[in-house]
Structures are given as structure tokens and as C-alpha cells.
Structure 1
């Protein structure tokens, strides 16, 4: 299935927003309460194309953005630490006139959204963390992310880009299309992206990661109703990590998807969309 097939029937705008001086690529669609979608490390807004139509149909204004140094968003020359990501997302909200939004953060995006919810509770209505990072520092996982990403960026061989995407999935044959590989390969081989790669991977360095981890105190301060979605076969975090996160965020709900890797919103889009829309309507808290 094509990205454009996924978006069939949806009126959307794909363009750039000046977010605090950072030229930020955003896909915007729908009207109503704002839902902001944040992708993972070395990812891009296409991670959510299977979710946008259902949310637009349910009456939400969707904003899927490329975070700093990712996708086709400007990559400033400084390490992309969590406070920088949060600052950028807040600047995007301000540029779009959004006072308060629902957030869906996958992997790195969940880490950013969690920190934003802890530090800026007035800007977050409901929070959905999809296989989020940022609660542990596992050297093996960090090395896997660093090595697989560097190999895909530094080689022209598109097979390495495919392997980087397949790493995320329980069933790569079903979930990794040729088009998705081509989109990511083109992003990875922009000169600006290659130049910014050390900044983008800085959270895979132990000192940086430990300093930026979501602390128990920060997680305890998250007051927004929170839904955690985790894949039972997540290659970047075992299920006990999800349960620990659930215990740390007061009143949160945990859903574990079987036969699912690191992209529940993509691999099991129909289930995720139904679950998330029920959550947004107040069906879970």
C-alpha cells in the first residue's frame, strides 16, 4: 500500500512552518482539537500516515511534524538533546496558534512528549506514548540504533535503509513497503542530514542519555491522562520496561500489542486508531 493510498480522501497540507527560526516540515489535516504526532530517532512524519485519516474523520486537527534535524526539517548545529526538542515543539505550537494539544509520541517522540507533559502541563491535554524511549539507558540497544542508522546513512546501498526500517517491525514483509524505504533513503542522503547525523545520534551516547532520561520525579509530575502502547516484540525495549513506565505515570493505561515491534501505530494501525480515538474521547484514562 502506498503512502498516498493511505491518505486518499483526506484534504491535507504538506509544507513548512517557521518554528522559532527552524524551518519545520509538517503534514496538517482536519479541524478540531489538535493532535500532534512525533516520530522516533532518525524518523519522519510518514510514520503516521496510517493514522491521520481516521483521526481527521473523527474530528481532529492532525499535525505530524519532522522534529529538529529529522526528515526535511532544518538541522541546527548543536546536539539534539531533549530540552532542544521540547523547545522546538513548543515553538511549533506557538507558530500555529495552538495553546493546548493532544500528543502522540513514538520512541524518541514519546520521550519528548513525556518531558513536555511533565514540564509544560498547560500545553498537553492527553498524552499517548507509543513504545517510548527515555526511561532506561541500555548500551546494547543504543549501539544497535547508532550502528544501524550510521550504516544506512553512510552507504548508498538502499538495502541498509531497508534493514534499518525492518529492525522496527515484527513483520517487515507486511509493514515495510518499497515506497517507505525510498522515502527514508532520500531523507538519509540529503547533505544536510548527513552533516547533522552526529547531533541527531547524541542521545545514543551514555553521558547525554543519562542526563536527559525521564526521571521518576518527572514521570510522577505528568498529570495529563496517559495511554502507553507497547509492542510485545519491541526490539528496543522489553515488556517489563513498559510496565515500569506504567507504574511511574499516575493513572496511566498500558496496552501491549501482540505480534508487534516498535511501530504499533503502523503495524496495527486499525487497532491503534480505534484504541486511541476511544482514549481521546475519554473512554480510557
Structure 2
């Protein structure tokens, strides 16, 4: 990975260095009864991309992608129900809940059809959305995908890590989350850690953390997984990112679903972990633009 891929020319990377020359709007919309935070960039009449974060995440995971992709697409990145600064209702967030929420966001914003880009949980939601709403799904970009297999060890790790961070949201416990998301220390930027800390310090986040982590319960996760037959029924073309330094469960899932989805291709990114789009945006953005534009 080059220095240019991870830092600015001044040697410092932040959320704002990624967005300072991007025309974007942040707002809230009521979707499926949930006050939902989102950001939008790009022409409203351009083909749409809906961007979905991972467990307990927020739209800022896509700060390095909004600029390049919004030159060609209408980009909508959201805080999914219960996450970020969106409303946190008192019920479990299973995959059908997320799918319903995403569809409602698209309805409210007048997006009839979109490509969906998801990270981890977001890719799981995107895949289920493609099955539930094939007529509204253009293409899929699946990063660190979940939703095919589940290991007890990984579920326990995620639950323990996130619960600890919410119950004691000091700098070290929040920063520890990013060690499993981002391979290079220099890309675990302070303002991203500070943003996650602010979210985890919200009283409501602590109240709903069990709802957020419900998919880490074996029985619940099992009933939400997509079967191999369901992955094989996805009609939308898919670009699957295989992150070489990610946990084995995600590396395995990436290669398996890429082999099952009928019209899928793999982008190998051996030097990144769970956030390939953030760690090496130059490689990622070029590949995604080529895929979405049919090059």
C-alpha cells in the first residue's frame, strides 16, 4: 500500500481531509418510523449507490469513497437502524429489520433502484435485500461479507469487544475495535475513534446494545443466515472483496459466496483487514468504478 493511499500529501489523514472538497449533504429522514441519519453526494439523477456499514457502525466508514464515486453516482450512505446517530428503537435488529429500513430509506429519498455496497453486516443486509427486492437491486459490492457461516469464536469476540466498549467507552476500548477493522496503525485515525466514542457514549446506545448484537446469538444468527441456495439465487452481478488480513471467517465467506453467486467476481486485496474501502481507497474506488460502470 502506498503512502498516498493512506495519508494526505501533508502526512495527515482525517475524516475532513477526505471530505473537504466533496459536495455532500447530511440530513435525517423518517424511514420505517426511524429517524435516520444519512449523507448524500452526487447528482440526484445519476444511478444510485446505497452504502451500508457494519455492526455498530456509521456512514463515515465511507468518507474515502464518497468523493470519487459521487462524480459518477448518487451516493447515499446511511446510519442503519439502531446505529450511529440514527434512532434506536427498543426491538431486536435482525436482518429483515435492516432490509425493511433500507427499503424505506430508498422510498423516502425517491431511489427506485440502486447498487448496494456493504461492509460485513452491511453486505449481509445487501445480499438479503437483493433476494427480497431483486427489481430494486442493480449490482452488489460485498466487503468482508457475513451471512453464510458463523463461528462461535467470532460471535463471542464481536459481542465481548462491542459490549466492553459501550460499557466503558474510554479511548483504549474504542481504539481496540479498530485493531480488528484496520490493519495499519496509521489508518486508525483519531477522529474516527473519537466519533465512535461519541456514539458509544450515547445513553441510548448502551440501552440497545443487546438489540444491536442480537445476531451474535447462535440461534438468532442461524435463522438469519442465507443458505447456499439463496446465495445462488442472487441475480444481481456482485463484486466481492477478499481482504487478506481479515479474520478467517470473513476471508472464507468472501471466497465461498463469490463462488456461489452466479455472476460474481473477486477483488483480492491481501494487505487490508475488515475495511478495505477505507484502508486502500485508491485500489478500491478504481475497481468499484470499473465494476459498476461495466468496464
TM range (shorter): over 0.9
Quote the Cα distance in structure 2 between the aligned partners of 1:55 and 1:277. 7
Match of 1:38 among 36, 49, 52: 52
Q: How does 1:118-157 map to 2 (within 5 A)?
A: 118-157=131-170
What is the deviation of 1:236? 5.7
- Structure 2 length-normalised TM: 0.93
Contact 1:33 1:101 in 2 (8 A): yes
What is the CA deviation profile of residues 158-186 of structure 1, one whole-angstrom value per residue up to 9, with x for unaligned ones? Answer: 11000011211221x12111101000000
What is the deviation of 1:235? 2.1
Instruction: Tell me the residue number matched to 1:49.
Output: 63
Instruction: Tell me the residue number matched to 1:166.
Output: 179
Cα RMSD, aligned residues only: 1.0
Quote the Cα distance in structure 1 between the aligned partners of 2:251 and 2:207. 35
2:26 is equivalent to residue 20 of structure 1: no
- Structure 1 length-normalised TM: 0.96
Instruction: Tell me the residue number matched to 2:104.
Output: 91
Deviates more, 1:228-237 or 1:255-264: 228-237
Quote the Cα distance in structure 2 between the aligned partners of 1:14 and 1:119. 28
Quote the Cα distance in structure 2 between the aligned partners of 1:20 and 1:245. 30
What is the deviation of 1:223? 0.5
Quote the Cα distance in structure 2 between the aligned partners of 1:20 and 1:151. 30
Instruction: Tell me the residue number matched to 2:221.
Output: 209
Instruction: Tell me the residue number matched to 2:240.
Output: 228
Match of 2:187 among 161, 165, 175: 175
Unpaired runs of 5+ residues, structure 2, are 1-12
Contact 2:31 2:108 in 1 (8 A): yes
Instruction: Tell me the residue number matched to 1:72.
Output: 85
What is the deviation of 1:238? 5.1
Query: What is the SS of the residue equivalent to 1:247?
Result: helix
Contact 1:141 1:236 in 2 (8 A): no
Contact 2:48 2:113 in 1 (8 A): yes
Length, aligned pairs only: 281
Distance 1:161 1:236, change over 3 A: farther
Unpaired runs of 5+ residues, structure 1, are none
What is the deviation of 1:248? 1.3
Quote the Cα distance in structure 1 between the aligned partners of 2:169 and 2:189. 18
Quote the Cα distance in structure 2 between the aligned partners of 1:174 and 1:204. 29
Instruction: Tell me the residue number matched to 1:279.
Output: 291
Quote the Cα distance in structure 2 between the aligned partners of 1:68 and 1:193. 11
Deviates more, 1:242-251 or 1:222-231: 242-251
What is the deviation of 1:239? 3.1
